[in-house]
């Protein structure tokens, strides 16, 4: 065990953050010996009695601010091997430089952390780029965060990536850590140094509804913009869904966040530097509930981003396999709020892309007075898809170049007349529900 290769160098003129500092600074390093290895083992396990004994042991030379250097890959591998041999391989803090208080804060060893602070460990030491407070918040240990704050840790200190502790409150017990930071003076709108994100941006992007609510209660700006011009509402709408299993929960959290932000006055139509708006992002991800919420706020349904794309374009360009819900509902909602129809010449491309979702084709076709498709359009659809949706595609291709039924033509004429106020006017018409649903493009799975 004495061969543990972790090079530690003693430099009394070095500041605990890694730069030059006053003589007598607590940076302690040397080649690991039996007591040093035993000390690190005790810190890793949270063995406060052993930590106390070793620190008090005469001649051990151990310090509460000893810095463990893992920057040499060969030595780090040997350290890792030895720790595994001790059955201690659960160290999660893997910065090149770490100290006992970082490990204790990261693992939630409150007693060890308190002991180290009592023995003079510097709460804002950051030899690896983060302070112990960053570690406590990142790992969700509010008790450790409180000990550090009481000991004088700076609640607004940035880490090596320019993020403040409040930006790292994303995991378990994030809410309690954030409450402590704010109580001890952390800036509720403190910016990260590179992305210029506020903690509210981080909470919105992570779907942390309770944390976002706390930040807003404490005065966070709902329309703060990051370096890309994104507001927290844009951050909430930009979340992608990685797997089908998380779709329902993620869409629900996104909807709650949007409700929360809009309730405190967030701009529902705010555009980033690329002129992308929340509606563009919601439609791109097929989030119909959020899209309908934004549309109810009167956002511009036909606003274009820098690429010339409207929300309808994004709804039709999103990857079909990644959409969290029925994409046809998003397209229908947009068309019922006055979205400009796509150019008829683009219909074959839509047909080819969305052939497995015939309801998208249906709702688009029902905004035209006639079906205009090239003769070879049927060849764009795989035979197995044609067979699966035989009734719909038979009705579609039977209407090419032929007049639609009178009922549809009446619907088209009425919708065209009310084009500027469809979403407000249609529900006010004294019509039975079935007829109102027809006017609002309810799905029939066939064209007439």
pLDDT digits (tens, 9 = 90+) for 398-419: 999 899 999 999 999 999 999 8
* Degrees to nearest 5, angle at CA 350 with 349 and 353: 85
> Using 50, 70 and 90 to split pLDDT, how confident is the model at 144?
very high
**Residue 76: predicted pLDDT:** 43
Is the predicted pLDDT of residue 3 greater than 60, yes or no? no
> Using 50, 70 and 90 to split pLDDT, how confident is the model at 33?
low
User: Which position has the token pair 């463990």?
Assistant: 68
**CA distances, 89 to each of 84, 141, 146, 426 (Å):** 5, 20, 27, 65
Q: Would you state the torsion angle of the CA atoms of residues 179, 180, 183, 184, taken in this order, to the nearest 10 degrees?
A: -150
398-402: long-range contacts, CB 8 A cutoff, minimum separation 24: 399/370, 399/371, 399/447, 400/371, 400/372, 400/373, 400/375, 401/370, 401/371, 401/372, 402/370, 402/371
Instruction: Answer yes or no: is 393 within a domain.
Output: yes
18 DSSP 8-state letter: S
**Residue 68: predicted pLDDT:** 74
Is the predicted pLDDT of residue 426 greater than 80, yes or no? yes
Q: Are residues 25 and 151 in the same domain?
A: yes
- Residue, of 317 and 80, whose pLDDT is higher: 317
Is the predicted pLDDT of residue 7 greater than 60, yes or no? no
Is the predicted pLDDT of residue 10 greater than 50, yes or no? no
Q: Are residues 2 and 150 in the same domain?
A: yes
**Residue 113: predicted pLDDT:** 97
Least confident of 67-76, 199-208, 296-305: 67-76
Q: Are residues 277 and 348 in the same domain?
A: no
Question: DSSP 3-state assignment of 277?
Answer: coil
- Residue, of 274 and 247, whose pLDDT is higher: 274
Q: Are residues 291 and 392 in the same domain?
A: no
**Residue 171: predicted pLDDT:** 80
Alpha helices, H only, 184-246:
199-205, 209-217, 232-237
Q: Are residues 124 and 78 in the same domain?
A: yes
**Residue 97: predicted pLDDT:** 80
Q: Are residues 368 and 331 in the same domain?
A: no
Instruction: Answer yes or no: is 441 within a domain.
Output: yes
Is the predicted pLDDT of residue 85 greater than 60, yes or no? no
How many domains, the chain?
A: 3
Share of the chain above pLDDT 90, in %: 68
What CATH number is attached to the domain comprising 275? Answer: 1.25.40.20
Least confident of 191-200, 224-233, 323-332: 323-332
CA–CA distance, 98 with 223 (Å, rounded to integer): 37
- Which domain covers residue 285, as residue numbers? 268-340
Q: What are phi and psi of 379, to 5 degrees?
A: -75, -10
> Using 50, 70 and 90 to split pLDDT, how confident is the model at 5?
very low
In terms of average pLDDT, the best of 48-62, 93-107, 177-191, 247-261 is 177-191
Q: Are residues 283 and 357 in the same domain?
A: no
Joined together, the tokens standing for residue 235 give 């951050």
Instruction: Answer yes or no: is 153 within a domain.
Output: yes
279-284 mean pLDDT: 94
Instruction: Answer yes or no: is 249 within a domain.
Output: no
Joined together, the tokens standing for residue 133 give 């407070």
CA–CA distance, 125 with 116 (Å, rounded to integer): 12
DSSP secondary structure of 410-440: HHHHHHHHTGGGHHHHGGGS---HHHHHHHT
Inter-residue contact 2 to 76 (CB < 8 Å): no
Q: How high is the mean pLDDT of the chain?
A: 85
Domain boundary among 283, 315, 340: 340
Cβ contacts of 50 within 8 Å, gap of 6 or more:
38, 39, 41, 42
Instruction: Answer yes or no: is 259 within a domain.
Output: no
Domain boundary among 310, 340, 370: 340
Q: State the pairing for strand pair 97-98/68-69.
A: antiparallel
Cα dihedral 290, 293, 297, 299 sign: positive
Instruction: Answer yes or no: is 57 within a domain.
Output: yes
20 DSSP 8-state letter: B
Instruction: Answer yes or no: is 429 within a domain.
Output: yes
Q: What are phi and psi of 88, to 5 degrees?
A: -115, 15
Q: Are residues 296 and 374 in the same domain?
A: no
CA–CA distance, 282 with 330 (Å, rounded to integer): 9
Domain boundary among 318, 340, 362: 340
**Residue 14: predicted pLDDT:** 39
Q: Are residues 393 and 273 in the same domain?
A: no
**CA distances, 262 to each of 106, 232, 273 (Å):** 36, 11, 21
- Residue, of 404 and 61, whose pLDDT is higher: 404
Is the predicted pLDDT of residue 333 greater than 70, yes or no? yes
Inter-residue contact 8 to 66 (CB < 8 Å): yes
- Residue, of 66 and 229, whose pLDDT is higher: 229
CA–CA distance, 412 with 418 (Å, rounded to integer): 10
Q: Are residues 177 and 128 in the same domain?
A: yes
Q: Are residues 161 and 289 in the same domain?
A: no
Q: Are residues 316 and 353 in the same domain?
A: no
Is the predicted pLDDT of residue 74 greater than 60, yes or no? no
Instruction: Answer yes or no: is 146 within a domain.
Output: yes
In terms of average pLDDT, the best of 84-93, 218-227, 318-327, 369-378 is 218-227
Is the predicted pLDDT of residue 15 greater than 60, yes or no? no
251 DSSP 8-state letter: H
């Amino acid at each position: 065990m004495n061969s543990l290769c972790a090079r530690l160098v003693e430099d009394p003129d070095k500041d605990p953050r890694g730069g030059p500092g006053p003589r007598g600074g607590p940076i302690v390093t040397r080649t690991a010996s039996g007591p040093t290895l035993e000390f690190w083992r005790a810190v890793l396990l949270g063995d406060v009695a052993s930590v106390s004994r070793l620190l008090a042991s005469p001649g051990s030379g151990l310090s509460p601010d000893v810095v463990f250097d893992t920057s040499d890959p060969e030595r780090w591998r040997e350290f890792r091997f030895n720790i595994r041999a001790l059955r201690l391989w659960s160290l999660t803090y893997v910065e090149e430089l770490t100290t006992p208080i970082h490990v204790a804060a990261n693992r939630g060893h409150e007693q060890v952390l308190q002991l180290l602070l009592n023995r003079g460990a510097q709460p804002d030491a950051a030899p690896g780029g983060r302070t112990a407070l960053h570690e406590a918040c990142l790992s969700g240990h509010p008790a450790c965060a409180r000990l550090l704050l009481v000991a004088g840790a700076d609640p607004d200190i940035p880490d090596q990536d320019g993020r403040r502790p409040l930006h790292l409150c994303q995991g378990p017990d994030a809410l309690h850590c954030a409450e402590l930071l704010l109580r001890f003076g952390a800036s509720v709108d403190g910016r990260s140094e590179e992305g210029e994100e506020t903690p509210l941006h981080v909470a919105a992007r992570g779907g942390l509804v309770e944390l976002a609510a706390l930040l807003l209660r404490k005065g966070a700006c709902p329309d703060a913009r990051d370096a890309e011009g994104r507001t927290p509402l844009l951050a909430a709408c930009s979340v992608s869904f990685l797997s089908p299993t998380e779709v329902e929960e993620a869409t629900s959290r996104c909807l709650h966040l949007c409700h929360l932000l809009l309730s405190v006055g967030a701009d529902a139509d705010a555009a980033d530097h690329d002129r992308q708006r929340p509606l563009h992002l919601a439609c791109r991800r097929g989030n119909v509930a959020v899209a309908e919420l934004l549309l109810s706020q009167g956002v511009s349904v036909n606003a274009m981003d820098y690429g010339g794309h409207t929300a309808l374009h994004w709804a039709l360009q999103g990857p079909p396999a990644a959409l969290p819900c029925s994409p046809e509902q998003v397209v229908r909602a947009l068309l019922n709020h006055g979205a400009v129809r796509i150019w008829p010449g683009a219909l074959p491309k839509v047909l080819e892309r969305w052939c497995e979702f015939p309801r998208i084709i249906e709702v688009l076709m029902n905004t035209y007075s006639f079906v205009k498709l090239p003769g070879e359009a049927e060849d764009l659809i795989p035979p197995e898809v044609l067979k699966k949706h035989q009734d719909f595609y038979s009705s579609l291709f039977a209407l090419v170049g032929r007049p639609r039924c009178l009922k549809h033509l009446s619907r088209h004429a009425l919708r065209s007349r009310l084009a500027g106020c469809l979403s407000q006017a249609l529900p006010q018409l004294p019509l039975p529900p079935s007829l109102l649903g027809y006017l609002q493009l309810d799905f029939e799975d066939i064209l007439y």
